[in-house]
Copies of this chain bind each other. A is one copy, B any other.
Amino acid sequence: MTHRINRQVRLKSRAVGIPQAEHFEIVNVPISDLGDNEVLVRNIYLSVEPAMRGWVSDVANYSEPVPVGSVMRAFAVGRVEASRHSDFRPGEFVTGMFGWQDYAAVDVKVIQRKITETDLPISTSLGVLGLNGLTAYFGLLEVGQPKTGETVVVSTAAGAVGSCVGQIAKIKGCRTVGITGGPEKTQICRDEFRYDTAIDYKTDNLDLALAETCSEGIDVYYDNTAGTISDAVLKHLKVGARIVICGTASIANWEPIPEGPRVERHLLVKRARMQGFLILDYTDRYTEALRELTQWVRQGLIQYREDILEGIEHAPGSIAGLYRSENFGKRLIQIAPQE
């Protein structure tokens, strides 16, 4: 085992703005021996997230920046190949922050969970039954607090988080309006993710479309973009609206902070609330949420899409692709068969 090759995708340099393929390099190293309480995981799917832009930036953030020269931080799901801890046995599937690499020799503390919903593809553990689903779940239900009959607007509505937000809102009896880009994603929003209305911000006049669709006002806005999409949404808030700040995909660079229309007047007149949200604050409630999400997926109440790139050589350019919106659904890189 120790003589097999481990391919690692390492951070080569810091990007200004969106990290591109050139900011990473792939190196081959031997697999290290296991220490006490360590497990060797053969990664099968690697995750690609919008948040990775923040992870490789040295701008103040909610996590330490990935050091230049290190393996890229990433969630992954894989199979236990060897174990020096009694809780884990070869053949079991586990998820965790295993990095963009073939093999991870990690302390068991790094393992997030053992996959038990074996009737579903293990790739779901990185998307709809992983952080994307959890982000949708807690962001919408805890921060957005939607009530039956309310209008919920979602930006990046066809994305891994957005699509799940829309469907959970639907399960909770809300009217859902998805904002996405392009005719194909608009159609997916309507047909697969069951949005009551889908708006194509690239061709529709967003302000007019919102005025028509949400003539009574917006109760909850789940914001994955910031920028001009949010500027338009904020004009249509209802009294008591809640805005969930989950991501800022449309802002290429926060250094320096870009300008936009001030929000205070909207918040004041509508007594609205705008609140930032980080999924890592909810770790002790993941199990409860995953149980419910798994049930909804099994019942077909939550549909999901995956965008699977084949081969680790796609990893370096995969973040930039997300910001070009080239993916349909949760982006993953498959680097080994599930069997």
Interface of A toward B, CB cutoff 8 Å = 60-62, 223, 226, 230, 245-248, 251, 254, 257-278, 281
State in angstroms the CA–CA spacing of A190 and B236 once bound together: 42
Is B277 a contact of A275 with CB atoms below 8 Å? Answer: no
- Copies of this chain in its oligomeric complex: 2
> Across the two chains, which residue of chain B brings its CB closest to A257?
B261
> Across the two chains, which residue of chain B brings its CB closest to A281?
B271
Q: Which of B245, B262, B274 makes the CB contact (< 8 A) with A259?
A: B262
Residues of B within 8 A of A275 (CB): 267, 271-274
Is A265 a contact of B254 with CB atoms below 8 Å? Answer: yes
Is B257 a contact of A245 with CB atoms below 8 Å? Answer: no
Q: Which of B258, B260, B267, B281 makes the CB contact (< 8 A) with A245?
A: B267
Q: How far is the CB of A69 from chain B (nearest CB, A)?
A: 25
Q: Which of B259, B260, B269 makes the CB contact (< 8 A) with A62?
A: B269
Is A268 a contact of B277 with CB atoms below 8 Å? Answer: yes
Q: Which of B257, B264, B272 makes the CB contact (< 8 A) with A262?
A: B257
> Across the two chains, which residue of chain B brings its CB closest to A230?
B264
Residues of B within 8 A of A262 (CB): 226, 251, 257-260
Residues of B within 8 A of A246 (CB): 268
Given contacts A230-B264, A257-B262, A258-B262, contact A61 B269 (CB under 8 A): yes
Residues of B within 8 A of A257 (CB): 261-262, 265
State in angstroms the CA–CA spacing of A266 and B270 once bound together: 21
Is B269 a contact of A251 with CB atoms below 8 Å? Answer: no
Is A276 a contact of B281 with CB atoms below 8 Å? Answer: no
Residues of B within 8 A of A248 (CB): 264-265, 268
State in angstroms the CA–CA spacing of A278 and B263 once bound together: 16
State in angstroms the CA–CA spacing of A276 and B260 once bound together: 19
Q: How far is the CB of A260 from chain B (nearest CB, A)?
A: 5
Residues of B within 8 A of A271 (CB): 275-278, 281
State in angstroms the CA–CA spacing of A248 and B266 once bound together: 11
State in angstroms the CA–CA spacing of A251 and B262 once bound together: 10
Is A269 a contact of B276 with CB atoms below 8 Å? Answer: yes
Q: How far is the CB of A223 from chain B (nearest CB, A)?
A: 7
